Chain A
Amino acid sequence: MIGQAILVLGGLGLGFGILLSFASRKFAVVVDPKEEKILEVLPGSNCGACGFPGCQGLAEALAKGKTEATSCVAGGAEVTKKVAKILGVEIEPKTELVAFVACRAGIKQAKKKFKYRGLNNCQADALLFTGDKSCVYGCLGLGSCAKVCPFDAISITAEGLAVIDPKKCKSCQKCVKACPRNLISMVPRAQEVIIICKNRDRGKKAKEVCSIACIACRICEKACPQQAISIVDNLAVIDYQKCNQCAICVEKCPQKAIGVRS
């Protein structure tokens, strides 16, 4: 009995084995060895920030020369360097960027206009009189950005504010698109002195809606020894090229709307 079973199963195994080895040679798909190598060095989080369908898709495009070696945003300089080495190209180092939420006014500083009861989602909140926050530029704090972040870098504080951990941020920019108030912008990773407000109301109105909003008083503009700050449309803007991060503006700002990013 046992002998028969061994014979039958062993025979079947042998038969299929021969068939499979034959088929694998006959129908083999030629894969560019570069593609495999690139896929190995990519982060593998399939965040989609490069615009290709996952890391596999990017690896294929890179191997075929359809896109540039710097395409992987999530991987940063390290991955780019490795990819360039595999592809045998030279690349210039890019300034590394990081996403930043330009609002730090919680419920204490910017009051709620009304009690919002609805979908836990900033876009839905913004449908009702532009949202429940008194400041129409500020963070709604319902976490639409946190939901799309593939790297778990965004958290919502008890005050109702989105905060991005720069250590975890891979600059995929998904949150930038998710925010209905365009509050999130990409800033150079090395830039620590930063305007933490997007309020473009005139001074009086700005103060009415938020106790720590930029009131466009121009004190920072005058104080900056590098002339790196200008007031554009009732809001202070830093020119990162000129700024040497002396932080004098941080001291001078009466509203504390300029801060040092950790």
Chain B
Amino acid sequence: MKLKTFPGGVHPPQYKDLTKGKPIEDMPVPIKVIIPLQQHTGAPCEPLVKVGDEVKEGQKIGESKAFVSAPVHTSISGKVTAIEPRPHPASAKDVMAIVIEKNPESAEVSARPPMLHLGTPSLQTESWKELTPKQIKEKIRESGIVGLGGAAFPTHVKLSPAPDKKIDTVILNGVECEPYLTNDHRLMLEKTSQILEGLNIILKVLGVNRASIGIESNKQDAIKVMENAEHSYEVGGRDALHGISIEVVPLKVKYPQGAEKQLIKAILNREVPSAGLPFDVGVIVQNVGTALAIYEAVVTDKPLIERVVTVTGNGIKEPKNLRVRIGTPFSQVIEYCSGFVNGVSKVIMGGPMMGLAQYTLDVPVVKGTSGILVLKDIKEESEGPCIKCGRCVESCPMSLMPNRIGDYAETDNFDLCKEYGVFDCMECGACAYVCASRRPLIHLIKYAKSRLAAKK
């Protein structure tokens, strides 16, 4: 059978073997965390605590009144030692952050204490069904859940489409097309039923009865596990699944297959209009990690205080899939993975295609940190002039002309960049990956976007 996919795209080497066979490991609770007040797209939070306050694991410490925002919670119990701007792995500027340190006497670094007041279900597993969609959304918001695929868009906003948009399908995104990353893959294998339950909660909130789970065909085990689990649901005849159809869709291995718009095109053959959102074609896409977080928030009242991070690359001694508390500094995560090998040249948050290079290891793991990639011995290739080979145009999944946009950005012709659709670009990096002259096309595109935004 021909696998479904989208036009354009590239085939970078996968490098997933480093971690894909390694079960998720719980990292010991750190003695210090840095919780930035902005870890999501939207308005930053205001702190709810003061320096010197004692806080308890899972307590809400930052909140915003704005709709497009998500509260933040402390991931350890301890004392607030500072509230000040700190480096943030995904922000151009230092971001206000709450620093929490554990009391030295109660510091248990080696063992991971069970989350006593968090892990126990406050509801019977089935009783979330009695909640109204509004109550569920309120719970999701209160738990600070954002999209865990990387963009960190507040989930309750995504689950609140405009009333005039008719949603008919939910897509669960288990594609994980970024090379190296395996956290979603491991979650699908290890937390299958919880993810499916999370999907049911999403379906209930939206009142939709059709869902697709998109998984790249390089994850055959995950496809199988998901299909089996979904069958057992149907065979078991659980109430939640009455009239609900869930389909697992294996997809061609191609980057960026996991991008929202490309996933919709591949599975449903619908095209999201320029400057539009998946709402406009009746679809909502959620990452598998987000579905799990929704399950944990709604069924077990656990706020988003930890996430799975793939620590990988040829520059790290022991690559791992780790469950890390939000706010743990990168330096500690790397130390837990036995540190760097010699000759490390780059530490990237995220994958190699869209990830962001870091200049300090003092940055904390945030809600959007899907991976920490450490690379050694990177060749510094010098860029040349565009030779008009057209490979970037061919590879662009949004059918743009990155060569033109890059040229215009370089010569400060920002209006022309806009005309050539710079705002439709999602910065997937396919163009820069294939560029024969090694032109920094994404840098140029980001620069053009920032200059256009400053003009407004």
- Residues of A at under 8 Å CB distance from B? 113-114, 117-119, 121, 123-124, 126-130, 136
Are B440 and A129 in contact, CB atoms less than 8 angstroms apart?
no
CB-CB under 8 A from A129, the residues of chain B are 87, 92-93, 359
Cα distance A119–B92 when bound, in Å?
A: 16
Q: Which among A118, A124, A127, A128 has the greatest number of chain B C-beta atoms within 10 A?
A: A124
| Among A121, A123, A129, A136: residue with most chain B CB under 10 A | A129
B447 within 8 A of A: yes
Separation of A126 and B444 alpha carbons in the complex (Å): 13
Which chain B residues border A128 with CB–CB below 8 Å? 92
A-side contacts of B138, CB under 8 Å: none
- Tell yes or no: B126 within 8 A of A by CB: no
23 contacts between A and B (CB under 8 A): A113-B359, A113-B360, A117-B380, A117-B440, A118-B440, A118-B443, A119-B440, A119-B443, A119-B444, A121-B447, A123-B450, A124-B443, A124-B447, A126-B92, A127-B446, A127-B447, A127-B450, A128-B92, A129-B87, A129-B92, A130-B92, A130-B93, A130-B94
| 8 A Cβ contacts from B417-456 to A | 440, 443-444, 446-447, 450-451
B82 to chain A, nearest CB (A): 13
**CB-CB < 8 A to B377: which residues of A?**
none
Does B239 belong to the interface (CB within 8 Å)? no
Complex CA gap A121/B450 in Å reads: 13
Q: How far is the CB of A179 from chain B (nearest CB, A)?
A: 13
- Tell me the smallest distance from the CB of A174 to a CB of chain B, in Å: 13
8 smallest beta-carbon distances between A and B, as pairs: A114-B359, A124-B447, A118-B443, A113-B359, A130-B93, A127-B450, A127-B92, A118-B440
CA distance A127 to B175 in the complex (A): 30
Q: 0/1 per residue, B78-102, Cβ < 8 Å to A?
A: 0000000001000011100000000
* Interface residues in B218-277 (C-beta closer than 8 Å to A): none
> Which of chain B's residues have a CB closer than 8 A to the CB of A130?
92-94
Q: Which residues of B contact A136 (CB under 8 A)?
A: 93-94
Q: How far is the CA of A159 from the CA of B220 in the complex (A)?
A: 56
Cα(A123)–Cα(B414), bound, Å? 14
Give me 8 other A-B pairs in contact (C-beta within 8 A), A119-B447, A124-B447, A136-B94 excluded. Answer: A114-B359, A119-B440, A119-B443, A123-B447, A123-B451, A126-B92, A129-B87, A129-B93
Asked if B190 CB lies within 8 Å of chain A CBs, one says no
CA separation between A129 and B356, bound complex, in Å? 11
Q: Check if B335 is an interface residue, CB within 8 A of chain A.
A: no
Min distance, Cβ A182 to any Cβ of chain B, angstroms: 13
Interface string of B44-83 (1 = CB under 8 A from A): 0000000000000000000000000000000000000000
CA distance A128 to B87 in the complex (A): 12
**A121, closest chain B residue (CB):** B447
Closest A residue, CB atoms, query B93: A130
Chain A residues with Cβ below 8 Å from B93 are: 129-130, 136
- B452 CB to nearest chain A CB (Å): 12
Who on chain B is nearest to A116 by CB? B359
Q: What CA separation (Å) do A127 and B447 show in the bound complex?
A: 8
A128 to B446 CA separation, bound complex (whole angstroms): 10
Judge whether B415 is part of the interface by a CB distance below 8 angstroms.
Answer: no
The answer to whether the Cβ of B25 comes within 8 Å of any Cβ in the partner chain is: no
Write the chain B residue with the least CB distance to A114.
B359
Cα distance, A123 to B444, chains bound together (Å): 11
Judged by a CB distance under 8 angstroms, whether B108 is at the interface is no
Q: Which residues on the A side are within 8 Å of B443 (C-beta)?
A: 118-119, 124
Residue on B nearest A126 in the bound complex, by CB: B92
- B331 smallest CB distance to A (angstroms): 16
